[in-house]
Amino acid sequence: MAHRKVGLECSRCGARNYTVNISAKQASERLELKKFCKHCQQVTLHRQTR
Ligand SMILES: [Zn+2]
């Protein structure tokens, strides 16, 4: 299975805080995860950037 690396961007401040490896299947839909943003100092929704 092919995997690709994508960035996760804070939906609140726009900082790219994480990179994750996802499968090609997952890449077809936009990944959204709740993660801690050090800039916002709280857990925010992070979206896939590419
Ligand atoms: Zn943020």
| pLDDT digits 0-9 by tens, 3-50 | 888 999 999 999 999 999 988 777 677 889 999 999 999 999 999 997
Contacts of 14-22 spanning 24+ positions with Cβ under 8 A: 15/39, 16/49, 17/46, 18/46, 22/48
The H or E element that residue 46 is part of is: strand 42-48
pLDDT of residue 18: 96
Number of domains in the chain: 1
Q: What's the 46 CA to ligand 1 centre distance in angstroms? A: 8
Higher pLDDT among residues 48 and 1, named by residue: 48
> What is the extent of the structural domain holding 24?
3-48
Residue type, 36: F
Q: Read off the CATH number of the domain in which 21 is found.
A: 2.20.28.120
pLDDT of residue 29: 79
Q: What's the 21 CA to ligand 1 centre distance in angstroms? A: 21
Q: What's the 17 CA to ligand 1 centre distance in angstroms? A: 8
Q: What does the alpha-carbon distance between residue 49 and residue 24 come to, in Å, rounded to a whole number?
A: 15
